[in-house]
Chain A
Amino acid sequence: MRALQASTSYSAGLGISSVTAPPSRPRRRLGVVAKDEPTEKSIEIMRKFSEQYARKSDTYFCVDKGVTSVVIKGLAEHRDTLGAPLCPCRHYDDKAAEAQQGFWNCPCVPMRERKECHCMLFLTPDNDFAGDEQAITLEEIRETTANM
C-alpha cells in the first residue's frame, strides 16, 4: 500500500503520465522466511554501494568474503522486498515500518556515527576479522553463496 502510494506521488511529482505502471511489486511474500534469491540488479547496486562506502569510511571487508557476500545479498533482498537496504543482521517486529523509519537502513546510524557495523560488512582495520580489501566482485559473491 505504502509503496504504491509512494510510486504514485513519485510519478505525479515528475509529471509522468498516469499510464506509468507502479513498479512491479517485488515478486514475493512479505516477511516469511528470507530464503529467496535477491535480484541481480539489487545485488549489483548493493555491491557497488558497499565498495564505495568502505572506501569512504576507511573500513575493510571481512577476511572471509563469504560474510561480505551474504550481507550484500541480504541488503539486496531487503531492497527488493522493502524498497530499502534494511540491515539483514537484526530482527524487526515490523520490517516495513523499520525500513521507513531508517535507523537500520544501510549505512545504519551506528555505522555513520561510530563505524559500528555489527553485520561485519564494514570493519575498521583494528578488527580481528578485517581483511585488507575494499572491493568484491559479483563473481565472488556468487561463488561464496553458491551452496546456500
Chain B
Amino acid sequence: MAIAFAPTSKPLPPVRAITAAASSAYNASSSYTPCISSFSNGSKIRLRNGRKSPPLLIKCGGGGAVQEIDESQFDDVVLKSSCPVLVEFVATWCGPCRLIAPAVQSLAKEYESKLTIVKVDHDANPGLIEEYKVYGLPALIMFQNGKEIPESRREGAISKAKLKEYIDKYLESVSVV
C-alpha cells in the first residue's frame, strides 16, 4: 500500500515544498516582524502626511468659489497656502460687505488658477480679528508665504474694476518676487 502510494506520492514534493515554504514563511515571519513594523511605521508616516497634505493640495482658487473659513482653518488654508490668498473679513449685517460680495465671487472664479479667496466672519473669529487688527468692514488683506503682504489692507466697499486692479497689483508683485 505504501509502495502503491509511492508513485502517487510523487506530487508530494511540491506539497513538501509548500510545507517548506510555509515553514520558511513561518520562520521568516520572525525576521519579517521588523518589516511589518517598519511597514506600519510607513503607514503612520503616510497618515501624518495625509493629515497635513490636503491644504497643500488645495489648488489656488478653491474651485473658483469664495470659501468661508474660521480660525481653526486659517493656518492651513491661508498661511500655508502655496499661492496668494485674499482674505475678506465680513459681518452679517454689513451693507458694503454685501455690496462687494458678487464682485468678489466673480473674481474668485476669474482668478481661480492664481489666487485663493476666502472670507472670515468677524463675530465668530475674534482671535483672527485681534491678530490682524481689523476694524472697518469689509476688510481685505492679501497674504503670501504665510504673511500679510505689507500695505495690502483695504477697508470698505470697492467696485469690481478697482478690486481687479488691486488684485492684479499684488499678483504682479508676487510673481516678480
Contact partners of A64 in chain B: CB under 8 A: 99
A35 with B92: in contact, given A90-B137, A120-B157 (CB under 8 Å)?
A: yes
Within 8 A of A (CB), among B89-129: 89, 91-99, 121-124, 129
- Quick one: which of B89, B93, B130, B155 contacts A71, CB cutoff 8 A? B93
- Quick one: which of A74, A91, A120, A128 contacts B135, CB cutoff 8 A? A91
Distance between Cα atoms of A148 and B95 in the complex (Å):
13
Binding-face segment, A15-23, A26-34, A52-60, A131-139: A26-34
CB of B134 within 8 Å of the partner chain: yes
A77 with B93: in contact, given A32-B123, A33-B123 (CB under 8 Å)?
A: yes
Q: Name the distance in Å between A42's Cβ and chain B's nearest Cβ.
A: 12
Distance between Cα atoms of A120 and B155 in the complex (Å):
13
Q: Mark A91-125, 1 if CB is under 8 A from B, else 0.
A: 11100000000000000000000000011110000
Distance between Cα atoms of A75 and B91 in the complex (Å):
12
**How many residues of chain B have a CB within 8 Å of chain A?**
24
A88 with B99: in contact, given A33-B123, A129-B157 (CB under 8 Å)?
A: no
Contact partners of B91 in chain A: CB under 8 A: 34, 74, 88-89, 91
Asked whether, in the complex, the Cβ of B95 is within 8 Å of the Cβ of A68, the reply is yes
Asked whether, in the complex, the Cβ of A71 is within 8 Å of the Cβ of B95, the reply is yes
Distance between Cα atoms of A60 and B156 in the complex (Å):
18
Distance between Cα atoms of A33 and B94 in the complex (Å):
13
Contact partners of A89 in chain B: CB under 8 A: 91, 94-97, 136-137
Most buried by B among A32, A34, A73: A34
Distance between Cα atoms of A41 and B135 in the complex (Å):
28
CB of B23 within 8 Å of the partner chain: no
CB of A62 within 8 Å of the partner chain: yes
Within 8 A of A (CB), among B3-32: none
CB of B43 within 8 Å of the partner chain: no
CB of B159 within 8 Å of the partner chain: yes
- Quick one: which of A31, A67, A118, A121 contacts B98, CB cutoff 8 A? A67
Q: Name the distance in Å between A130's Cβ and chain B's nearest Cβ.
A: 12
Q: Which A-B residue pairs are the 6 nearest by beta carbons?
A: A74-B93, A67-B95, A88-B93, A71-B95, A89-B94, A91-B122
Known A-B contacts: A68-B95, A89-B94. Give 16 more (CB < 8 A): A32-B124, A34-B93, A34-B123, A71-B94, A74-B94, A77-B93, A88-B93, A89-B91, A91-B89, A91-B135, A119-B96, A120-B157, A121-B95, A128-B159, A129-B99, A148-B92
Interface residues of B (CB under 8 A from A): 89, 91-99, 121-124, 129-130, 134-137, 155-157, 159
